[in-house]
Structure 1
């Protein structure tokens, strides 16, 4: 019996070499032998074990089809074999059979005889004659009838099913990226399947020279660019860049695809913070403009309503300068708000970083919240800052701190740094106003807005770099000129979006109530320079009064002046209406009946009504700065009018000075001691100029203003320090050609009788391009004891623990106390010299040396100037080169009338 059982098992095991997972169909076994097998359980188990040992591993067979076969065969599938215990996913072939039986039986399929491959088996195809059927597995067994004789009797149980297997002609595909082999070329290109296109491309690369391929790719690319230029703008993009990866510094920036928000969505505040962070890390001005313009392009294309808040926050402003809207948050209150949110003490915040914004960012990144607030948006931050600025009255400080905390806890990444800097009012990233306007012009040129919205995302396509630069420069001139005449971004930006950049001059014009940046003059120290500048041109000389610039605006309607809305503005566009109530009261005496609206450029001078004499500027500075009552005014002023900029609804800034002066004398009155025209004389020789200069000095004036009278150089250049105006002071004839307005950035403790006060100071000039303050000189002379006491008290309010990151100085000049750049002092010196230690104008005259003042002395405080209006590094370099001892040995700097 045991012998018979072994014989049966051996016959059963022998044909068990199959390639499919279907169970082996066993031949019929006699009942007597089967019962014996059941009785001998142990022996059967050993036999089954020997079955798995004797049988070789199943050969894996992938059955795949080509794209054409899939389309023809439909979606029928068969089981996938298992190789080495792991399932391999592949397409299941359709089995063809002459029978349409769909019974779910599975038949055994043997590999070709003599095949010993175990691991890799080429793609195989199972073919049979007959019609198609569904996924019937039993059809595979029926298909074997085509291989047998027609008269064959019913197959015996021991007969094996034969399946014809042929090599597939379809290309082999690889699911794993490890086996990236080139697919063979598909001969039939009648279809557009991706596999065939790929194969055709590979064959093209093999048979075509590389030079021809590159040439064809270049032609295709240019054709694509042309088509893309003609395509309509589509801002509906599903995939956006993560906010933390937003990079407007990309060389090939796309305003839609590279943005981190979708069309119509509010701009994330993190997008602006990322932009400012990249600008802070960049020193090149052109690159700074490019980074900001890319960000503004995305705002214009996707969310144009956020363009105005973006520009204001880049300028670190909340409103036009004449509205005087300031946050009024002291540094101590900001530290208190940060400390209450993060658990830091004031001492920790002061000692951790010199930059409070960076300290706030570091503290916020270490803080974790269980339920983080919603992300900040640009418009939300801007509205919150304006709300903080408008908070006044009882407990306003506590309300401001609470509002700041609500913003601070919602900050992510670098948002905290720039939020705190905005609250400080000192962004200090090297982004000046002119750079922001240049970036806005570049953005509006490349992605132009208009009445129909944005219709072209990249207008620079097809233009050379020189052509595009020329177009941007032209647009920037239009934008800056319009901004000078209408310095209100709340009017300019909406007009830009609604009508386009080219139409700005028609929609934003000079009007009473909008203060202008005044035209300034270049200094000169020799009378001969006047004739060199105005050679073959007519010019006039005016007395230069020692007072405060006053720009008087009188609006009107229905040809009647509205004195109730009249205003007086300073040279830096500050509203001084409450400082001069006496001037407003006397306005009706100035205007003749023919005037119903006007803008006058004047000088308010302290005046002694008894002696009819002009008083020094120091007397004028004693007047109350705000909310003055006319009954309490002790220092009277006389207004000297010297220019007319606007008259009865018409701007006169583009007309020559001769016409403006004639209109001034025709439509306005003079009242002695109250309203007077500037004393002037048209000169034609050096002797006449010298004589008129002496008269001005005797009249308690500083000197002369020399202006072009006729011709193209006689227009009023708003916001420019123009060479069309020259100023000649009495102290210019000796020593330095001009006084210097410097900013105090440090102080030294006094000794001896100055021990209780500061005895020396470190002053700096401003580099507008880099937006930084560069050390100019150390100052310790020219003070009285009373001045030292008052100046020390004022500087104590601006003491900071460490220098600002935008201070440039030498380690040998480190002061005892650092102060924030807030006070401007006027200095006079014997001359200027090169200095290896000071950083003023470094690189403009000498590559490794700056410029310093020799024997500087204090003249006065300049309360009418902000630190941004202090003497620039470019001016310091020009003053140095204008000295006689260096003028002949050094090349002069390029003179240009740039916007300031």
Structure 2
């Protein structure tokens, strides 16, 4: 390594920044993880040897590999969390330093580095674009050392935090003027914290020292790791957890109820609720408190460092038992609503880490503790979980809504786990945690005996959404040069069955697909991307006001593709035009089989959002259901062209003789047949009677024939373009060998044009104005009349539509118009259930009717709410069991919900008013 005559004395002051950049260049061009690690090891060994030589007289000087390591792992540098500098600012500074004309080709490349047509081959990677602009304008080697570069970066970060713009600018200019093109490329990547050389954080730390990653997981302090592990021969056998030093907590591995017995080797295990909050570690030492998140970020300023400050500490100080000097508690920080005694979720758009935002929603901080790692200076991590839990009871007295001990219950088999998961789904919880009672606490590991089981991990329990890609974001590193993430949207339904023309931005997805799938998909859309210009946005795509989330490039939906996405829940968000987005979205598959205009609509999205409070898990889990889906790498030895399944192929009609012109000029699509007539037999008959068949209905299709309402039929009904007729009608035509006009009773779905014709000849029940009615037709009419008169839900919706047309200013008398409510005012004695005379709910029921609600005499499939008396929750358990079995869920609320709706003038969140009771089974 090159050295300078500068004295004294750290290795970083002697080693040029050019040599570190040379190392990164060599690593990025080397193939194979082991070979990359070998290159890095040679550099680290040279550094250590030079350190020994430089400090031969004083080996204990506080000098280490940290100045280089913080540049190799910039995202771990806690002292420089943010520079406040983005690619656009760097582009302007480069243009200034190089004296480039603002309209010059190189300036255009720098300012529009994401435009695929402006920068070919390097689009999206600003560092590479800058390198090609600088390579003929800079010296071959820079003059700055690693120490000098770090000093400049420290100054930039500090001045940016102090909002001093001029010192920030001067330091950046100093770096740009004294580095080569290659060095500036790597400097830019360090500033934007995206190095991407093909070596993971774990690999780099393991090259430095075998214990480096483990020690970093415990203390989250890169400088401390480099200082304590300077000598590779000294092993850190006792990795200690110390008070006020942040570390990454122990994590849970994905699991399934089907495998719990096997994972626990048939032994007893613990089950806890998986809380929908923020993982938080509380450190206490006498009267000083500190709070750290899962990533090591400190939130003491929010929750309080002493008994007199913060949103939580003043309320829990007196909860600690006498004799407790110090402790480290692991738990989940939740938002607790004191009035309703319920916990908030992220779907309710509040952040418990923001005191002001949480308080505006009426929530207070509450810590649910589920583990303890240190007690009165004694580290407990090597004790089994069953023993650690006993220590928690020695530390503090629980206080409702502020400081609680997580409830743990013992379980023994797969069914116990399945039952617990179903309880979590019914309670709209995030899931459950399954823990081995003998597990020791291992920071930052998922292989320690803890398993998280959530509905979205299990196939069939989550709603999957078909949404269309409308935007793209350029990737970096191994995904550079292509779109790595995508903006997805939902459609605003078109009028009169027309294809949608307006799409609302909904979410951003970037996971769930393999690299090969991503490359293939990019090739498919490559010719259709257009640069997104917020001054002239596309008419078909509507983003959130102020363009809070905008893509690098956009694509017209007609040139795009639908993706099937799975997520945990729908949450509020002002970053997207829909006003909401998906939490933890991931792509399940690219839907090449579905046209772009059949994506999810805004109407369907709102229905999903209202269902179960935005949670996308509504089904009950049964043992034997689908297991968590894992993608497996496929090995293909030869190319096999995909073919249609036999049931989708057209029948061979080459030898069919036409016997009639009854269907001449009519194209018919047959989806499925009946028990007496198969699809192929019906298609032959169409040809015999002079018609033509098609497998996919189009603009020239006369009608669609079907007997069963399958998925494909449902999709055609949604499009509302075709007459879908029962097979029985066609069979009547075949048997009579003559054309028989349709009647309303022959239809599965009627197109708008045919519906207008039917209204001229038939009443609303399908009774003809002109034709004589047969006995069977009369019976069908009566059945239809009974069906419509009994269906209060349809009636309620009709009235709601009328109110919306004639009372657009929201008449209060239709507040509950779309609600169908079952009032539970029964008295249960053994197996006998009778109405309670003069029940307190009777008057409230009249009031509900006055404000538009439909009251149901029975708990049928259309009920949306069940109203129970606050003084009697004895039937809540039974009602929950009924709800669990129903495909359409209903809310269980008490009378306070009705009062709240009337006061607010709108339907309020039902979750706060569901009885918070546990009924023994």
Normalized against structure 1, the TM-score is what?
0.50
CA distance in 1, matches of 2:36, 2:146: 20
CA distance in 2, matches of 1:675, 1:395: 38
Determine the structure 2 residue equivalent to 1:680. 408
Determine the structure 2 residue equivalent to 1:763. 509
Describe the SS at the equivalent of 1:388.
helix
CA distance in 2, matches of 1:676, 1:617: 20
Given that residues 576 and 626 in structure 1 are in contact (C-alpha distance below 8 angstroms), is that contact kept between their aligned partners in structure 2? no
CA distance in 2, matches of 1:836, 1:632: 45
For 1:34-61, what per-residue CA distance to the aligned partner results, in whole angstroms no more than 9, with x for missing partners?
xxxxxxxxxxxxxxxxxxxxxxxxxxxx
Determine the structure 1 residue equivalent to 2:270. 540
Determine the structure 1 residue equivalent to 2:317. 588
Determine the structure 1 residue equivalent to 2:433. 705
Given that residues 326 and 377 in structure 2 are in contact (C-alpha distance below 8 angstroms), is that contact kept between their aligned partners in structure 1? yes
**Deviation for aligned residue 1:794:** 2.9
Describe the SS at the equivalent of 2:321.
coil
Given the alignment of the two structures, is residue 295 of structure 1 paired with residue 53 of structure 2, yes or no?
no
Given the alignment of the two structures, is residue 567 of structure 1 paired with residue 299 of structure 2, yes or no?
no
Given that residues 732 and 738 in structure 1 are in contact (C-alpha distance below 8 angstroms), is that contact kept between their aligned partners in structure 2? no
Describe the SS at the equivalent of 1:435.
helix
Describe the SS at the equivalent of 1:572.
coil
CA distance in 2, matches of 1:611, 1:746: 39
Describe the SS at the equivalent of 1:414.
helix
Describe the SS at the equivalent of 1:312.
helix
Given the alignment of the two structures, is residue 671 of structure 1 paired with residue 399 of structure 2, yes or no?
yes
**Deviation for aligned residue 1:724:** 1.2
**Deviation for aligned residue 1:755:** 6.9
For 1:85-128, what per-residue CA distance to the aligned partner results, in whole angstroms no more than 9, with x for missing partners?
xxxxxxxxxxxxxxxxxxxxxxxxxxxxxxxxxxxxxxxxxxxx
Given the alignment of the two structures, is residue 517 of structure 1 paired with residue 248 of structure 2, yes or no?
yes
Which of the residues 393, 396, 401 maps onto 2:169?
401
Q: Which runs of 5+ in 2 are unaligned?
A: 53-62, 113-117, 304-309, 466-471, 474-483, 494-499, 526-540, 564-575, 594-603, 610-624, 637-921
Determine the structure 2 residue equivalent to 1:597. 326
1:298-377 correspondence runs (5 A): 298-303=46-51, 305=63, 307-317=65-75, 319-320=77-78, 325-344=81-100, 345=102, 346-349=107-110, 350=112, 351-352=118-119, 353-354=122-123, 355-367=125-137, 375-377=143-145
Given the alignment of the two structures, is residue 438 of structure 1 paired with residue 161 of structure 2, yes or no?
no
**Deviation for aligned residue 1:406:** 0.5
1:182-581 correspondence runs (5 A): 266-303=14-51, 305=63, 307-317=65-75, 319-320=77-78, 325-344=81-100, 345=102, 346-349=107-110, 350=112, 351-352=118-119, 353-354=122-123, 355-367=125-137, 375-392=143-160, 396-441=164-209, 476=210, 478-497=211-230, 500-506=232-238, 509-525=240-256, 527-554=257-284, 556=285, 561-563=286-288, 566-580=289-303, 581=310
Describe the SS at the equivalent of 1:540.
strand
Given that residues 276 and 429 in structure 2 are in contact (C-alpha distance below 8 angstroms), is that contact kept between their aligned partners in structure 1? yes
Describe the SS at the equivalent of 1:720.
coil
**Deviation for aligned residue 1:324:** 6.8
For 1:481-501, what per-residue CA distance to the aligned partner results, in whole angstroms no more than 9, with x for missing partners?
22222221221211122x655
For 1:822-881, what per-residue CA distance to the aligned partner results, in whole angstroms no more than 9, with x for missing partners?
99953568x9569999xxxxxxxxxxxxxxxxxx99999xxxxxxxxxxxxxxxxxx998
Describe the SS at the equivalent of 1:606.
strand
Given the alignment of the two structures, is residue 795 of structure 1 paired with residue 543 of structure 2, yes or no?
no
Given that residues 2 and 15 in structure 2 are in contact (C-alpha distance below 8 angstroms), is that contact kept between their aligned partners in structure 1? no
CA distance in 2, matches of 1:308, 1:480: 14
Aligned residues: CA RMSD: 4.9
1:82-93 correspondence runs (5 A): none
CA distance in 2, matches of 1:767, 1:277: 29
CA distance in 1, matches of 2:413, 2:32: 46
CA distance in 2, matches of 1:280, 1:887: 25
Given that residues 492 and 503 in structure 2 are in contact (C-alpha distance below 8 angstroms), is that contact kept between their aligned partners in structure 1? no
CA distance in 1, matches of 2:508, 2:340: 41
Determine the structure 2 residue equivalent to 1:160. none
CA distance in 2, matches of 1:283, 1:880: 39
Normalized against structure 2, the TM-score is what?
0.49
Describe the SS at the equivalent of 1:520.
coil
**Deviation for aligned residue 1:593:** 2.1
1:716-865 correspondence runs (5 A): 716-722=441-447, 724-730=449-455, 732=457, 734-735=459-460, 745-747=485-487, 759=505, 763-765=509-511, 789-790=543-544, 793-796=547-550, 799-800=551-552, 826-827=583-584, 832=588
**Deviation for aligned residue 1:682:** 1.0
Q: Which runs of 5+ in 1 are unaligned?
A: 1-239, 244-260, 442-475, 779-786, 804-810, 816-821, 838-855, 861-878, 891-900
Determine the structure 2 residue equivalent to 1:614. 343
Given that residues 604 and 637 in structure 1 are in contact (C-alpha distance below 8 angstroms), is that contact kept between their aligned partners in structure 2? yes
Q: 1:518 to 1:265 in 2, by over 3 A?
A: closer
CA distance in 2, matches of 1:654, 1:613: 35
For 1:171-217, what per-residue CA distance to the aligned partner results, in whole angstroms no more than 9, with x for missing partners?
xxxxxxxxxxxxxxxxxxxxxxxxxxxxxxxxxxxxxxxxxxxxxxx
**Deviation for aligned residue 1:315:** 0.6
**Deviation for aligned residue 1:751:** 6.7
For 1:725-780, what per-residue CA distance to the aligned partner results, in whole angstroms no more than 9, with x for missing partners?
1222345555269999x99823368875797775476622289999x9998999xx
Given that residues 373 and 409 in structure 1 are in contact (C-alpha distance below 8 angstroms), is that contact kept between their aligned partners in structure 2? no
- Name the count of aligned residue pairs: 521
Q: 1:569 to 1:749 in 2, by over 3 A?
A: same
Q: 1:802 to 1:419 in 2, by over 3 A?
A: farther
CA distance in 1, matches of 2:162, 2:504: 36
1:146-165 correspondence runs (5 A): none
Determine the structure 2 residue equivalent to 1:637. 365
Given the alignment of the two structures, is residue 654 of structure 1 paired with residue 399 of structure 2, yes or no?
no
1:37-76 correspondence runs (5 A): none
CA distance in 2, matches of 1:307, 1:667: 40
Determine the structure 1 residue equivalent to 2:859. none
Describe the SS at the equivalent of 1:721.
coil
CA distance in 1, matches of 2:245, 2:47: 27
For 1:509-558, what per-residue CA distance to the aligned partner results, in whole angstroms no more than 9, with x for missing partners?
31122222122222233x2311011114331111111222112122x2xx
**Deviation for aligned residue 1:504:** 3.1
**Deviation for aligned residue 1:262:** 12
**Deviation for aligned residue 1:585:** 2.5
**Deviation for aligned residue 1:378:** 0.7
CA distance in 1, matches of 2:252, 2:435: 9
- Radius of gyration: which is bigger? 1
Describe the SS at the equivalent of 2:370.
strand
Q: 1:289 to 1:812 in 2, by over 3 A?
A: farther
Given that residues 739 and 828 in structure 1 are in contact (C-alpha distance below 8 angstroms), is that contact kept between their aligned partners in structure 2? no
CA distance in 2, matches of 1:368, 1:266: 22
Describe the SS at the equivalent of 1:665.
helix
